[in-house]
C-alpha cells in the first residue's frame, strides 16, 4: 500500500470536496503541522527528588500565529483523574506569545508569569497556587486529597473565539484594541475581566475561532542539570459555526467565563472526526450524547512504540509519558457515599476505558513487547511495579502516566521524580525498544469505540480516490493517547579548563503509533 504525507492527503480531500460528504466542511482532526484550535500539552511536573530546592519547573508557551486576536481557555489538569487545578481565560493580540512557569508553591504547584497579555481573572504578581477543590469535599474521590496531587499533570487549551479587526457593526473592535500591546503593554486589560458574567462585548466583538495556535513546554531542573522540551499536540477543526449561524451570533463561538469548566474537549462542533491512517481517511459522525468521542477517535492508537536506554557507562535513564487526555469524560462524578468514580456507559461499545476509578486509579491492561538492539525479544515481560489492583496484569492506571524503565522493575528510577508512575523491567536488556498495545477485548467491551453515526471511508490508490459513504459500525481500537519518551545520559563531573562541570544531558523522542480501524 502506498503511503504519503498526511498533509498531502488532506489537501487532496479538500480539493475533491469530500470533507463535505458528511454534512460539514470541518471535522476535528490531528494537525500534523502543529497548528490548531485546541492544544494538548502531555505532561507538566514541579516534583523534586525529596528536596524542594531541586524541583522541576515547567515552562509553557502559547503562540498566536495569526493577524486576529484570540480568546483562549487555559486549563491545568492534575494527572490522576484529570481534575481541574487551575482555569482561566487568556486573550492574545495578533501575533502574540504568552509564557508562564509552573513552579512548586506551598504544598503543591502553582503558576507565575511576567507576561503582560490579558487574562481573566488577572494573575497576581506573586502567581496563583493550584487548587484541589475539584477532588475534595463533595467532589472527593479515593485518590490523594492533598495539594501534592497538583504537582504533575497536563494542560489543555481551547480556542473560544477570534477577535477580528471590526466588530459586528463594522466598527473598530474595542476588545481587540484593549488587548493589543502598545510599547509591550495591552491598552486596558481591565475591560476584559468578566467577573463570572457574560459581558456585552462577547456578542459584539467576538467571532468564530479559526485556529492557528501552537505552543510548547520545557521541563527544566537547573540543580540537576535536566531540561527537555516538547511541542503541544494540535487539534484543528475543533469548532466551526453551524451552517446557518449568523456572523457574531452566540452560536458561532464557545466562549465561557474565566474559571468555568467549559469549554472542554467534549465541545467539538460539529461532532465529526477525520482520522487518517496510511492511504485511508475515515470521516465519522458522532451523536450529540457522544461527549468526547470525536476527539478520542482522532487520538486513538492501538500501539505506542519507542526506545529505552539504560547504558551503565552513562548511568542512563528512560521515562515514557503516556497521557489519556479524554479519559475523564468517560467517568461519572464520585459517588457521594463510596467516593468511587464509576464508568459511564459500562458494558457498551461506548465504554472505551476498562475499570472504575478507585484509590489506586482506573487501570487499563496493556500488552508489552520488548526487544534489545540485537533482535532478542520477549513478550509481556514481567510486570509493572507496584502490582496494579482490580485483578489487572500489566496496566496503566492514571490519566497522565510516567513509565520508568530498568533492567528490573525494582531498579527503574524516574528521571522526573514522578509519583503517577509505574516501573517496568526490561528482561535485563540494557538498551532497546518496546511496544505498548491496548488491544480490545470484545467479551468485556473495552479499548475500542464504535462510531455512533455513519462513516465515509476514502481510500487513495494510485492517486485516485475511492469513496465508500454511509458505512455503519466503524470501530476504532485502542485508547486515545499522547506523549513522548525522555532519555537521560549522565557522565558525572567532568573537568573543563580546571572547572568542574556536571555533565547530564536529556533528549526527547516522540512516540510512534499504529492504528487499528475496522
pLDDT of residue 504: 84
432: left (phi over 0), alpha (psi -120 to 50) or beta: left
pLDDT of residue 6: 44
DSSP element (H, E) containing 368: strand 367-372
Grid coordinates belonging to 447: 479499548
CA distance 383 to 402: 15
| pLDDT tens for the 518 residues of the chain, in order | 333 344 445 555 554 455 544 444 479 999 999 999 999 999 999 999 877 678 999 999 999 999 999 999 999 999 999 999 999 999 999 999 999 999 999 999 999 999 999 999 999 999 999 999 999 999 999 999 999 999 999 999 999 999 999 999 999 999 999 999 999 999 999 999 999 999 999 999 999 999 999 999 999 998 888 999 999 999 999 998 765 555 555 456 899 999 899 999 999 999 999 999 988 999 999 999 999 999 999 999 999 999 999 999 899 999 999 999 999 999 999 999 999 999 999 988 789 999 999 999 999 999 999 999 988 787 755 445 445 555 445 799 999 999 999 988 888 999 999 999 999 999 889 999 999 999 997 667 799 999 999 999 999 876 678 899 999 999 999 999 999 999 999 887 777 777 877 778 899 999 999 999 99
What tens digit of pLDDT does each residue of 469-504 get? 999 999 999 999 999 999 999 887 777 777 877 778
Grid coordinates belonging to 206: 467576538
Predicted TM-score (pTM) of the model is 0.93
Q: Is 202 helix (H, G, I), strand (E, B) or coil?
A: helix
pLDDT of residue 18: 53
CA distance 195 to 257: 8
pLDDT of residue 12: 52
HSE of 102, CA atoms in CB hemisphere, 13 A: 30
What tens digit of pLDDT does each residue of 421-475 get? 999 999 889 999 999 999 997 667 799 999 999 999 999 876 678 899 999 999 9
Grid coordinates belonging to 375: 533482535
Residue 200, class by beta-carbon neighbours within 10 Å (0-12 exposed, 13-18 middle, 19+ buried)? exposed
Q: Grid coordinates 567532568 are at which residue?
A: 494
* Sheet strands side by side (includes 128-129): 128-129, 108-112, 97-105, 57-64, 213-221, 226-231
Phi, psi of 279 (to 5 degrees): -100, 20
What is Dmax (Cα atoms) for the chain? 72
Q: Grid coordinates 525498544 are at which residue?
A: 433
CA distance 170 to 172: 7
Cis peptide preceding 121, ω within 30 of 0: yes
Q: Is 263 helix (H, G, I), strand (E, B) or coil?
A: coil
Amino acid at each position: 500500500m502506498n503511503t504519503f504525507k498526511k498533509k498531502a492527503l488532506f489537501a487532496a480531500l479538500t480539493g475533491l470536496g469530500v470533507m463535505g460528504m458528511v454534512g460539514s466542511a470541518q471535522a476535528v482532526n490531528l494537525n500534523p503541522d502543529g497548528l490548531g484550535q485546541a492544544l494538548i500539552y502531555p505532561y507538566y511536573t514541579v516534583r523534586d527528588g525529596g528536596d524542594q530546592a531541586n524541583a522541576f519547573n515547567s515552562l509553557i508557551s502559547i503562540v498566536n500565529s495569526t493577524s486576529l486576536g484570540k480568546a483562549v481557555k487555559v486549563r491545568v489538569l492534575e494527572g490522576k483523574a484529570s481534575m481541574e487545578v487551575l482555569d482561566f481565560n487568556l486573550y492574545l493580540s495578533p501575533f502574540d506569545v504568552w509564557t508562564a512557569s509552573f513552579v512548586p508553591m506551598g504544598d503543591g504547584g502553582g503558576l507565575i508569569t511576567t507576561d503582560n497579555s490579558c487574562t481573566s481573572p488577572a494573575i497576581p504578581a506573586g502567581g496563583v497556587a493550584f487548587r484541589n477543590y475539584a477532588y475534595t469535599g463533595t467532589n472527593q474521590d479515593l485518590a490523594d486529597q492533598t495539594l501534592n496531587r497538583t504537582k504533575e499533570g497536563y494542560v489543555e487549551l481551547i480556542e473560544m473565539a477570534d477577535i477580528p479587526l471590526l466588530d459586528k457593526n463594522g466598527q473598530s473592535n474595542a476588545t481587540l484594541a484593549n488587548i493589543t500591546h502598545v510599547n509591550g503593554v495591552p491598552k486596558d486589560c481591565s475591560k476584559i475581566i468578566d467577573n463570572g458574567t457574560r459581558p456585552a462585548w462577547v456578542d459584539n466583538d467576538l467571532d468564530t475561532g479559526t485556529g492557528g495556535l501552537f505552543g510548547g513546554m520545557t521541563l527544566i531542573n537547573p540543580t540537576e542539570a535536566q531540561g527537555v522540551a516538547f511541542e503541544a499536540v494540535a487539534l484543528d477543526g475543533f469548532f466551526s459555526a453551524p451552517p446557518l449561524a449568523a456572523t457574531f451570533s452566540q452560536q458561532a463561538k464557545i466562549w465561557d467565563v474565566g474559571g468555568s469548566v467549559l469549554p472542554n474537549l467534549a465541545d467539538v462542533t460539529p461532532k465529526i472526526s477525520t482520522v487518517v491512517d496510511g492511504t485511508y481517511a475515515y470521516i465519522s459522525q458522532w451523536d450529540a450524547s457522544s461527549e468526547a468521542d470525536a476527539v478520542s477517535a482522532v487520538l486513538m492508537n492501538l500501539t505506542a512504540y519507542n526506545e529505552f536506554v539504560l547504558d551503565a557507562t552513562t548511568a542512563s535513564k528512560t521515562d515514557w509519558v503516556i497521557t489519556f487526555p479524554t479519559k475523564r469524560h468517560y467517568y461519572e462524578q464520585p459517588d457521594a457515599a463510596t467516593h468511587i468514580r464509576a464508568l459511564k456507559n459500562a458494558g457498551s461499545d461506548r465504554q472505551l476505558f476498562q475499570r472504575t476509578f478507585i484509590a489506586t486509579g482506573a487501570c487499563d491492561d496493556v500488552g508489552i513487547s520488548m526487544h534489545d538492539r540485537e533482535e532478542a525479544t520477549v513478550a509481556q515481560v514481567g510486570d509493572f511495579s507496584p502490582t496494579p489492583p482490580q485483578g489487572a496484569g500489566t496496566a496503566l492506571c492514571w490519566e497522565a502516566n510516567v513509565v520508568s524503565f530498568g533492567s528490573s522493575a525494582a531498579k527503574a528510577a524516574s528521571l522526573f521524580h514522578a509519583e503517577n508512575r509505574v516501573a517496568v523491567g526490561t528482561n535485563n536488556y540494557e538498551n532497546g525498544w518496546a511496544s505498548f498495545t491496548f488491544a480490545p477485548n470484545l467479551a468485556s467491551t473495552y479499548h475500542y469505540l464504535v462510531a455512533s453515526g455513519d462513516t465515509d471511508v476514502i481510500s487513495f490508490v494510485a492517486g485516485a480516490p475511492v469513496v465508500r459513504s454511509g458505512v455503519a459500525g466503524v470501530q476504532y481500537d485502542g485508547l486515545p493517547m499522547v506523549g513522548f519518551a525522555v532519555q537521560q545520559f549522565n557522565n558525572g563531573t567532568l573537568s573543563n579548563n580546571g572547572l568542574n562541570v556536571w555533565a547530564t544531558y536529556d533528549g526527547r523522542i516522540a512516540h510512534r503509533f499504529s492504528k487499528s480501524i475496522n
